[in-house]
Structure 1
């Protein structure tokens, strides 16, 4: 019975995923005109190009998901048991067996994923002028990622394997280690990890830097330096973000964003600042902790109660736990709409913060329209698809929300004005 449930959850997840992708594409292609709110900026040619870009990405995703699902089934029924036998014959050490098991799995998974990554970056993204990455940078990024995975992954994985083997009720210790590791990573990422892949230099535009620092001081945010990241060596897309916690906090602007008017950059920055000021980062971190605990506990229950050895022919705790994780991750896929609903609420709140801090919503509206045009965003995402996958409201929704704020401000001003 468990095998039926296991496979049903896996297949249902894939069916819904395929259905939503196809539904989203059909919905977008069914529209023939640029939305009214974008007509002054986005041409019919831009609109058609964004639809073709969406079509190429959806077709790629469907093929990618198909291969991923097939390989997942091959791993589940053939490769995991086979790899377990291989590592068991190499060493009697449980921890070394586990490290070899996940190392071999990771290597195979990496080899399978590379052709898809290459095609997406150097064919699709190149076709639409987004990619600036060279094969050399791709290879260096790959090598760096592998080295980092070994350096960071080996000690944490060894500790987790020790916990699994030494404590029958390991789930809470497992969760605690994962949570502590995540917090440490958030702290060290901006100062140790990110600089391995990108250069971060102080913002040289003194006028823009002063405007950003002024915003920080107005809300009592203690960051004195603004960094520019050389994102242009990989992409032409734009972004700005806060990163780190405590003394590792940083403000980062993509160098691709610096071509925008200063008032738009400041508005985007104010939006990101809103996430911190509204404690969204803390809320997300606490939510992640709750999520990890629930996720690991469900995995533990499946690990303990499901007849995994009987159905899949595996014996080692790390292999059994892998099957339990596969089931739990498939189950949590169905919570995406709830998680993204909460995220979209935070984005609206950050937009409001930006408009109130700047004193007007129009620079952010202008930046959103520019981002939509330059990133060839889907102007007509399917409602069900965006409910399931979108962590941000659509640009149209955000713009209308910002315009509503402007009307509310004017109404309040009129009500408060003397007769």
Structure 2
């Protein structure tokens, strides 16, 4: 029975990565084949030259992603079969179980970080640079890495300590751990815009007074209370465009990438109205509930598997922190095959936010125009594979959003 479980365990983890890579390759072949054409709704904005650039960008990202995922799989298997049991044995006499867990995850995160660092560097300074998106300097990159490490330690150590305490104290710990992680989600929703994001980006008051007035009119019309409107210096890291609404209560703020300020005011307003749609339609609390239930479900079945691994001695584990990571890794690998369900719900919300934007502004034209520009300027894939969209897209493909908005325009006359 134990050997059978080990085979199933490893098979699921390997199949998850192989299926993910298969989807990437299917998407690449489908999107770049000689018969692929520019969707009709994009032909007025997307030239053949733009189309070819998008295909080259996709090819580079997919090939890079395949190498990265295969490397990650190999590293994960080495950890699971060799490194984790060895670390558990070495750390078994190093103080309390909580201290051992902190050391265990510190060593794991350090090795994982060092393995992933060359991929991060290549992605930013080779692929993004090659296709004209990167504006990150080596100095900024180094600063981001150091800040990321400091935040990981500052947040990770107490979380690991509390989680390990729960594992040691209770046999049935999934609901306590669920409360911890749900509390963390809420905590980050509050502190991320106020304290974390400003460590990486500079936020200043929007200096375009005319645009600010128009934004205030849209905000008042929507009924969403937003204390602050900020411009973010995204151009220090990328040329890609975006805007978002973040935070809850007094921490809520509307953030405009400085890279999107080249868009006309109506286009910027349509993007902001889309973000407002998520709040008016209560997508944020809905997603919080969905994610909370998902976390509780994952931890519940992780708890069941955790007890099985610990009781049977499979993999030769004796400590709660190592047993947890094996059980959690297996369950998360299985949950990957349920991603299409969650993404379907997310895409549905995106359609609702698009419709809200069109109705709030009284026209869908600016959002259609901004979507077309985003496809062109971000070198988005205009022809994703249908199965790839179902599996990985938490937003509808741009051509699908545009078609839906055009239908709405026809309905409204």
TM-score class, shorter-chain normalisation, is over 0.9
Match of residue 302 from structure 2: 299
Indicate if the aligned counterparts of 1:278 and 1:350 stay in contact, CA closer than 8 A. yes
Secondary structure of the 2:412 match is: helix
Aligned partners of 2:259 and 2:375: how far apart in 1?
15
- In structure 1, list runs of 5 or more residues that go unmatched: 411-419
Match of residue 228 from structure 2: 225
Deviates more, 1:363-372 or 1:159-168: 159-168
Matches within 5 A, 1:175-194: 175-194=178-197
Is the counterpart of residue 154 in structure 1 residue 157 in structure 2? Answer: yes
1:156 shift after superposition:
1.9
Match of residue 130 from structure 1: 133
Match of residue 120 from structure 1: 123
Match of residue 402 from structure 1: 405
Matches within 5 A, 1:350-365: 350-365=353-368
1:32 shift after superposition:
4.0
Is the counterpart of residue 40 in structure 1 residue 52 in structure 2? Answer: no
Aligned partners of 2:380 and 2:95: how far apart in 1?
53
Deviates more, 1:151-160 or 1:290-299: 151-160
Match of residue 244 from structure 1: 247
Indicate if the aligned counterparts of 1:2 and 1:306 stay in contact, CA closer than 8 A. no
- In structure 2, list runs of 5 or more residues that go unmatched: none
Kindly tell me the number of residue pairs found equivalent between the two proteins. 409
Match of residue 352 from structure 2: 349
Match of residue 368 from structure 1: 371
Aligned partners of 1:397 and 1:169: how far apart in 2?
45
Match of residue 413 from structure 1: none
Query: Any idea what the Cα deviations from partners look like across 1:33-89, whole Å, max 9, x if unmatched?
Result: 322222222111111111011011110011001100000100000110111122224
Indicate if the aligned counterparts of 1:308 and 1:314 stay in contact, CA closer than 8 A. no
Match of residue 79 from structure 1: 83
Indicate if the aligned counterparts of 2:228 and 2:252 stay in contact, CA closer than 8 A. no
Deviates more, 1:29-38 or 1:78-87: 29-38
Cα pair distance change 1:360/1:101, threshold 3 Å: same
Cα pair distance change 1:308/1:267, threshold 3 Å: farther
1:224 shift after superposition:
3.3
Is the counterpart of residue 54 in structure 1 residue 58 in structure 2? Answer: yes
Indicate if the aligned counterparts of 1:46 and 1:373 stay in contact, CA closer than 8 A. yes
Match of residue 391 from structure 1: 394
Deviates more, 1:308-317 or 1:119-128: 308-317
Aligned partners of 1:10 and 1:155: how far apart in 2?
29
Aligned partners of 1:224 and 1:359: how far apart in 2?
25
Aligned partners of 2:97 and 2:180: how far apart in 1?
19
Secondary structure of the 1:201 match is: strand
Aligned partners of 1:177 and 1:384: how far apart in 2?
35
Secondary structure of the 2:255 match is: strand
Query: Any idea what the Cα deviations from partners look like across 1:77-117, whole Å, max 9, x if unmatched?
Result: 0110111122224x221110000000000000000000000
Aligned partners of 1:377 and 1:193: how far apart in 2?
28
Query: Any idea what the Cα deviations from partners look like across 1:255-310, whole Å, max 9, x if unmatched?
Result: 10111111000000000000000000110011110011001111111101236863
Is the counterpart of residue 70 in structure 1 residue 74 in structure 2? Answer: yes
Indicate if the aligned counterparts of 1:189 and 1:244 stay in contact, CA closer than 8 A. yes
Secondary structure of the 1:238 match is: coil
Indicate if the aligned counterparts of 2:309 and 2:323 stay in contact, CA closer than 8 A. no
Indicate if the aligned counterparts of 2:27 and 2:385 stay in contact, CA closer than 8 A. yes
Relative to the length of structure 1, the TM-score reads 0.96
Match of residue 110 from structure 1: 113
Indicate if the aligned counterparts of 2:310 and 2:318 stay in contact, CA closer than 8 A. no
Secondary structure of the 1:142 match is: helix
Q: Which aligned runs of 4 or more in structure 1 are off by greater than 4 angstroms?
A: none
Aligned partners of 1:293 and 1:136: how far apart in 2?
41
Aligned partners of 1:155 and 1:183: how far apart in 2?
17
Secondary structure of the 1:380 match is: coil
Matches within 5 A, 1:301-316: 301-306=304-309, 310-316=313-319
